[in-house]
Amino acid sequence: MSMNERVNQKEFEYRTSPHLHSKFSTTKVMWLVNLSLLPCLISAVIFFGFYQLVIVFTAIVFSVFTEFLIQKLTKQKVTITDGSAFLTGLLLALTLPPNFSLSATAIGSIFAIGIGKQVFGGLGYNIFNPALAGRAFLQAAFPVEITTWTKPAFSVDAVTSATPLAAFKYDKVLTELKLLIIGNVGGCIGETSAIAILIGGIFLILIGIVNYRIPLAMIVGIFLFGGIFNVIDPAKYPPPIFHLFAGGFMLGAFFMATDYVTSPFTSKGMWIYGLGISLVIVIIRLFGGVPEGVMYSILFMNAFVPLINRYTIPKPFGLKE
């Protein structure tokens, strides 16, 4: 076919610039985040056994199925292959206690997608992190089950089934840092191993999917606010490094608070948001009725995101002073 014929047959696209695109797409981003949670999944199996995979599988299946069902019923385009419902299920499962009941897991997943995400309009429109919304619902609905912990696999005498945060809150027992970093402590399925979380988290930062500002702001915040109280009374308040590695802080900092949809899009906003989360975490952990506060802190700050965005819109080029 001659060149002119090809032009006449509209074989060439006629559209406006830019004509190139980066290699990222929504689907790719979501699946890469899913992939980066693989180390957490492995640590879960190592410390709490293969059964955790069944919980993860259940959460994912019910999340994806709920998304499918709602999109079908409301006659939207079905987007279950984009990996976002999969991610919600996976993240929810990682925040549940080991050996958690499968029926409750399923209920949490349905809530996470149905109420946490689809009610607001689906991907991109939800105000609260869907996985944490599901987790909060389970906390209210199954208060006993969700605080029933299992001993990690390689129990030594010092290790109890109680989470390090509970051990400190109620018995003033400070868990050894080494155990916290490796993850050989009681806790939720995917939150105990700082190393596993860091591998995935740093991977996401390096390939440019996660902005470093939110995790960094949270870490700075936990040292700042945790440090202040520790200085005031070291016997009563644990050192900030304990706050950093205990409980769900690491998982929250790298995988929950960094959820695109429910975190600020401005640089300044990310700092405010991250610092705010850490402040609330410290307050809940030290003065609240429960030992852990990461989930509530993130949900709390989620609510402020639209406001933070509004007031942190950067000054455009050429308008600074």
Q: Does 24 bind other proteins (CB under 8 A)?
A: yes
Q: Does 228 bind other proteins (CB under 8 A)?
A: no
Q: Please, what is the minimum distance in Å from the beta carbon of residue 11 to other proteins?
A: 8
Q: Please, what is the minimum distance in Å from the beta carbon of residue 22 to other proteins?
A: 5
Q: How many residues bind other proteins (CB under 8 A)?
A: 47
- Which of 78, 81, 124, 228 binds other proteins (CB under 8 A)? It is 124
Q: What are phi and psi of 121, to 5 degrees?
A: 120, 10
Q: Does 178 bind other proteins (CB under 8 A)?
A: no
Site string for other proteins, 297-316 (x = CB under 8 A): ------------x---xxxx
Q: Please, what is the minimum distance in Å from the beta carbon of residue 215 to other proteins?
A: 15
Kindly tell me which of 57 and 68 has the beta carbon lying closer to other proteins.
68
- Which of 44, 104, 113, 123 binds other proteins (CB under 8 A)? It is 123
Q: Does 103 bind other proteins (CB under 8 A)?
A: no
Sign of the CA dihedral running 52, 49, 175, 166: positive
Site string for other proteins, 26-55 (x = CB under 8 A): xxxx--------------------------
CA distance 9 to 128: 49
Q: Does 13 bind other proteins (CB under 8 A)?
A: yes
Q: Does 76 bind other proteins (CB under 8 A)?
A: no
**Nearest alpha-carbon partner for 175 in 195, 188, 191, 157:** 157
**Nearest alpha-carbon partner for 116 in 256, 125, 253, 68:** 125
| Count of Cβ atoms closer than 10 Å to residue 312 Cβ | 17
User: Could you give the 3-state DSSP secondary structure of residue 297?
Assistant: helix
CA distance 55 to 276: 32
Contact 37, 91 (CB under 8 A): yes
Site string for other proteins, 254-273 (x = CB under 8 A): ------xxxxxxxx--x---
Kindly tell me which of 6 and 172 has the beta carbon lying closer to other proteins.
6
Only segment of 19-27, 50-58, 110-118, 293-301 that touches other proteins (CB under 8 A):
19-27
CA-based Rg of the chain, rounded to a whole angstrom? 22
- Amino acid occupying residue 101: S
Q: Please, what is the minimum distance in Å from the beta carbon of residue 202 to other proteins?
A: 18
Non-local CB neighbours of 124 within 8 Å, separated by 6+ positions:
261
Q: Please, what is the minimum distance in Å from the beta carbon of residue 297 to other proteins?
A: 20
Task: DSSP for 10-55, please give it.
Answer: T-S---PSP----S--HHHHHHHHHHHTHHHHHHHHHHH-THHHHH
Helical packing angle, 26-36 and 84-94, nearest 10° = 20
Binding site for other proteins (CB under 8 A): 3-4, 6-7, 11-22, 24-29, 79, 82, 122-125, 211, 260-267, 270, 309, 313-320
